[in-house]
């Protein structure tokens, strides 16, 4: 779908659908008023007859109103204008897109130029509308052999009547499109089944990005190379599978300045059975999403390419499949990580931290990044703590944590910080190795972060646990693409910082 900005008053043009907003007590916003006048009061008459309340999330499609050139008028409730917030705009646009898709229209004009959100610039509001529309109309249809119902929206125009706003609005919408593109890539990859999306497949996706942009260089390490590097923790996971594990480095150079890169390290477990500590069957299918951290890294790289952001970023995908097999690690096994630290594997289902710790060591040694951020569907405990609303954030660096919190708020992709205090570290004590890979039944999200922290000494680092936010379950099962918006916003703000 394409999003356009139109400065002319398109409401009188011939259009498939025109979307207008109405507040409480059937208060008509400017675009609605215009249509009402043109239709000689037909619009307000129908709204009164229907008892339309103008509540947020309400919508009413009206067909062929008299004297109007458009086929459909979609009336949408916006609630009280002074109560409208970003979350309300998202809900409004989602309502609109779903209603338009049900009507089967290919084109629509959204006459929403009068809407305002407190503390949000008009251009950013347009960007949010564009991004929400693009994300709402996303579909994963790769494996549907028959098209589902009506074909979707193709063109959406947003009205911008204030011409002085056009330049900043264009910029905001371009940024929104770049984020939506990255998010869509992350969702596509997350939604792929694990029989297609293997570590090798993810490494090929990285190579496709390199083909698409000269700013991207890709390096792939297979198991033989990882063995030479002493990546014993990574290999402890990947060797249990017939699919070869891959450590993939994607370097994006959007600037010629010789600044140290920011590293994003994504957990790429293409399927997590739990290994010998096998998971119960219920909902195990969802463990195909255990590579969503890696997918979000690829998504961010896509956004950087689209937005041509002048930053230096290393994306790392730590890709393996966690399987039970004759070659799989067993509880009690001890392995030596690339850092030299030894790990007693008490539970083979705590595999994400094993692939990530060697990835962190490798990127730290090879690229000397100024900041490392890992992104992982790491713990069920994080889902218990924060649900599916917000990602978990862990960092010993207050400034970095604050930057990520701010980026999350601005991009409507929130994170919530949990403690990473030394008091928790002792839960990882092992009688026979430097540490155990699990910390017992309490504070599971925190002890996982504590484990990773031991492989980040000397570098600014943050960990995002996206176990709750990377996908939705149930009838609408699918990857969300989070936290691509957060990370993209974080990197953009680094440019201006
Ligand atoms: N990929 C899972 C975490 C997960 C579970 C994410 C459910 C989303 C939903 C991770 O590899 C895992 O299995 N973690 C274990 C850790 C435990 C063994 C310490 C968990 O959370 O149960
Ligand atoms: Mn696991
Ligand atoms: Zn996992």
Which domains are present in the chain? Answer: 2-137 (3.40.220.10), 180-495 (3.40.630.10)
Q: Please give the pLDDT value at position 90.
A: 98
Rounded percentage of the chain residues whose pLDDT exceeds 90: 96
User: Using a 6 Å cutoff on CB, does residue 270 contact ligand 1?
Assistant: no
**Mean pLDDT within 159-174:** 96
Q: Where would I find the beta strands (DSSP E) of 17-110?
A: 17-23, 27-28, 59-63, 72-77, 107-110
369 lines ligand 1 (CB under 6 A): no
What pLDDT shows up at residue 227? 98
**Segment 259-268, tens digit of pLDDT:** 999 999 999 9
| pLDDT for the residue 257 | 84
Residue with CA at minimum distance from ligand 1 atom 22: 380
Tokens (6 digits) for 219: 């390096």
pLDDT-based confidence at residue 10 (cuts at 50, 70, 90): low
User: Quick check: 124 pLDDT over 70?
Assistant: yes
d(CA 162, CA 440): 59
Is residue 289 a contact partner of residue 470, using CB atoms and an 8 Å limit? yes
Assess whether pLDDT exceeds 90 at residue 12: no
Q: pLDDT (tens digit, 9 = 90+) per residue, 224-256?
A: 999 999 999 999 999 999 999 999 999 999 999
pLDDT value at residue 147: 79
- Locate the ligand 1 atom nearest the alpha carbon of residue 351 and give its number: 11
Beta strands in 305-414 (DSSP E): 312-322, 333-336, 342-345, 371-376, 391-395
Lay out the sheet containing 216-221: strands in order across.
216-221, 246-253, 312-322, 262-272, 371-376, 460-465, 391-395, 415-417
Backbone angles phi, psi at 495, to 5 degrees: -65, -45
pLDDT, residue 286, reads 98
Q: What is the mean pLDDT of the chain?
A: 97
Q: From CA 200, how far away is CA 340, in angstroms rounded? A: 27
Rounded mean pLDDT, 384-412 = 98
Separation of 293 CA from ligand 3 center, angstroms?
Answer: 10
Q: What pTM, to 2 d.p., does this model score?
A: 0.98
Which ligand approaches the C-alpha of residue 465 most closely?
A: 1
C-alpha distance from residue 403 to each of 262, 287, 492 (Å) = 14, 30, 11
- Tell me what pLDDT residue 133 has: 98
CB 268 within 8 A of CB 203: no
Supply the pLDDT for residue 151: 67
b/e sequence 231-265, b meaning 16+ C-beta within 10 Å: bbbbbbbbbbbebbbbbbbbbbbbeeeeeebbbbb
For residue 454, count other CB atoms closer than 10 A to its CB. 18
Does the annotation count 353 as an active-site position?
A: yes
Condensed to tens digits (0 to 9), the pLDDT of residues 450-463 reads 999 999 999 999 99
Tens of pLDDT, residue by residue over 179-213, are 999 999 999 999 999 999 999 999 999 999 999 99
| Ligand 1 contact via 350 beta carbon (within 6 Å) | yes
Residue 119, sorted as left (phi over 0), alpha (psi -120 to 50) or beta, turns out to be left
pLDDT at residue number 152: 86
Nearest alpha carbon to residue 290 among 321, 259, 316, 312: 321
């Amino acid at each position: 779908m394409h999003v356009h900005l139109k400065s002319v008053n398109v409401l009188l043009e011939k259009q498939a659908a025109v979307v207008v907003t109405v507040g409480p007590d059937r208060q008509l916003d400017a675009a609605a008023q215009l249509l009402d006048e043109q239709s000689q009061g037909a619009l307000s008459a129908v709204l009164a007859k229907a008892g339309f309340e103008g509540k947020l999330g309400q919508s009413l499609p009206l067909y062929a109103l008299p004297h109007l050139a458009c086929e459909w008028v979609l009336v949408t409730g916006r609630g009280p204008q002074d109560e409208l917030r970003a979350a309300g705009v998202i809900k409004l646009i989602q309502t609109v897109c779903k209603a338009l898709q049900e009507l089967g229209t290919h084109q629509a004009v959204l006459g929403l130029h009068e809407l305002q959100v407190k503390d949000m610039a008009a251009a950013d509001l347009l960007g949010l509308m564009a991004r929400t529309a693009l994300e709402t109309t996303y579909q994963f249809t790769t494996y549907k052999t028959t098209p589902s119902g009506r074909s979707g929206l193709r063109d959406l125009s947003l009205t911008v009547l204030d011409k002085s706003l056009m330049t900043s609005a264009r910029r905001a919408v371009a940024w929104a499109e770049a984020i939506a593109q990255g998010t869509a890539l992350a969702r596509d990859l997350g939604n792929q089944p694990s029989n297609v999306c293997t570590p090798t497949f993810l490494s090929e996706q990285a190579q496709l990005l390199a083909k698409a942009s000269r700013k991207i260089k890709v390096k792939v390490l297979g198991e033989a190379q990882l063995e030479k590097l002493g990546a014993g923790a990574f290999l402890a996971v990947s060797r249990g599978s017939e699919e070869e594990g891959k450590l993939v480095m994607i370097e994006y150079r959007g600037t010629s300045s010789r600044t140290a890169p920011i590293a994003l390290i994504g957990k790429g477990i293409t399927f997590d059975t739990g290994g010998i500590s096998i998971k119960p069957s219920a909902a195990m299918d969802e463990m195909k999403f255990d590579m969503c951290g890696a997918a979000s890294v690829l998504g961010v790289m896509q956004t950087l390419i689209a937005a041509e952001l002048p930053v230096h970023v290393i994306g790392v995908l730590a890709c393996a499949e966690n399987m039970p097999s004759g070659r799989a690690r067993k509880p009690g096994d001890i392995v030596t990580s690339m850092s030299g630290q030894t790990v007693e594997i008490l539970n083979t289902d705590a595999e994400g931290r094993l692939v990530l710790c060697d990835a962190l060591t490798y990127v730290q040694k090879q690229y000397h990044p100024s900041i490392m951020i890992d992104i992982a569907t790491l713990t069920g405990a994080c889902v218990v703590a924060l649900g599916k609303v917000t990602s978990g954030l862990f960092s010993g660096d207050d400034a970095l944590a604050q930057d990520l919190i701010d980026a999350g708020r601005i991009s409507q992709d929130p994170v919530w910080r949990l403690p990473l205090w030394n008091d928790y570290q002792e839960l990882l004590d092992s009688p026979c190795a430097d540490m155990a890979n699990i910390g017992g039944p309490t504070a599971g999200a925190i002890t996982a972060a504590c484990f990773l922290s031991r492989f980040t000494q000397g570098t600014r680092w943050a960990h995002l646990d996206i176990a709750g936010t990377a996908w939705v379950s149930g009838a609408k099962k699918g990857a969300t693409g989070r936290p691509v918006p957060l990370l993209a916003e974080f990197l953009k703000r680094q440019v201006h910082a």
